[in-house]
Amino acid sequence: MLSISSISKTYPNGVRALDDVTIEIPVGMFGLLGPNGAGKSTLMRTIATLQQPDSGNIVFDGIDVLAEPDRLRRTLGYLPQDFGVYPRISAEGMLDHLAVLKGIVSKSERKQLVDALLQQVNLHSVRKKALAGFSGGMRQRFGIAQALIGDPKLLIVDEPTAGLDPEERVRFHNLLSEIGEDRVVILSTHIVEDVADLCPRMAILANGQIVREGVPQTLTAELEGKVWRKAIDRGELAQCRERHRVISTHLRAGRTVVHVVDDSDPGEGFERHSPMLEDVYFASLHEKTPAGNARTTAA
């Protein structure tokens, strides 16, 4: 169990990246969902002991993370958002090297570990190939393998699916769900499907604050009966925004489908829409930044 209490961080340039963040994160996959700039990476780096907050506390399994960073590091695996080391060395050679750095001195123990990790992330057949030639999906799977050295009880993966194609994403999801069975795994993402598919618990971060938290299905159920949709012409959108709480717009077959939130039927030809996690996400962001700031996505 990871307890994060009242963490705040303001950068020297005045940006308040984290504003009194409090969350309890149990064993299993936890999704931290938020748009670019929400503060996800700042929070991930803070938990990973790479930077200090201005105030607050973090406790993991009895370890006071901010006071005892070395103890936390022994049980931490971390895949940073900008994991960018792809040298001409082979996947196998690099993992072996990283295992040495993590203190695994026995050569035979390392060989066994590296083999097992390469099998687990499905890179064993390309273990002799240079990392420099790996695809995005292969790199991210390699990133997971390096994060798993030492069998960490806390694994932090920061936006690992950004830039993966759909097939790679599915493969990566399967890998993460296996890994998340017996440890705390925090997955940060701006992609709603990552959380919907993978995470039994989640939080939405916006402007450095937790704006929603809980079980995805429960959060979705709370919006039941309150989401309405209608296909309109592009030219009607501005007026629609003035009259309703538009949380998102989708292009579908050349028309604009708007989703609005309303406790009762807004009339005007709107029909009830069974809410999805995406509606929860956009509704939460809309509460934080109202007035015509609805998100637009193509579908």
Ligand X SMILES: Nc1ncnc2c1ncn2[C@@H]1O[C@H](COP(=O)(O)OP(=O)(O)O)[C@@H](O)[C@H]1O
Task: Pick the stretch among 11-19, 81-89, 247-255, 260-268 that binds Mg ion (CB under 5 A).
Answer: 81-89
Q: What are phi and psi of 127, to 5 degrees?
A: -60, -25
Count the residues of the shown chain that bind ligand X, applying the rule CB under 6 A: 12
Which residue, 38 or 258, has its beta carbon nearer to ligand X?
Answer: 38
Q: How far is CA 86 from CA 156, 166, 171, in A?
A: 20, 23, 21
**186 near 155, Cβ under 8 Å?**
yes
Q: What does the block give as tokens for 155? A: 């694994």
**53 near 18, Cβ under 8 Å?**
yes
Task: State which of positions 19-78 bind ligand X (CB under 6 A).
Answer: 34, 36-42
Task: Report the partner that residue 94 touches, choosing among Mg ion, ligand X, none (CB closer than 5 to 8 A by kind).
Answer: none
Torsion sign, CA atoms 243, 248, 251, 252: negative
- The CB-of-119 to ligand X minimum distance in angstroms stands at 32
Quick one: which of 50, 68, 71, 47 has its CA closest to 58? 47
DSSP state of 61: T
Q: Which of 2, 4, 7, 17 is the binder for ligand X (CB under 6 A)?
A: 17
Instruction: Assess 81 for contact with Mg ion (CB under 5 A).
Output: yes
Task: Report the partner that residue 256 touches, choosing among ligand X, Mg ion, none (CB closer than 5 to 8 A by kind).
Answer: none
Q: Which of 31, 39, 41, 95 is the binder for Mg ion (CB under 5 A)?
A: 41
Task: Report the partner that residue 15 touches, choosing among ligand X, Mg ion, none (CB closer than 5 to 8 A by kind).
Answer: ligand X
State the DSSP H helix or E strand holding residue 6, giving kind and residue range, or none if neither.
strand 2-10
Which residue, 51 or 274, has its beta carbon nearer to ligand X?
Answer: 51
Instruction: Give residues in contact with ligand X (CB under 6 A).
Output: 11, 13, 15, 17, 34, 36-42
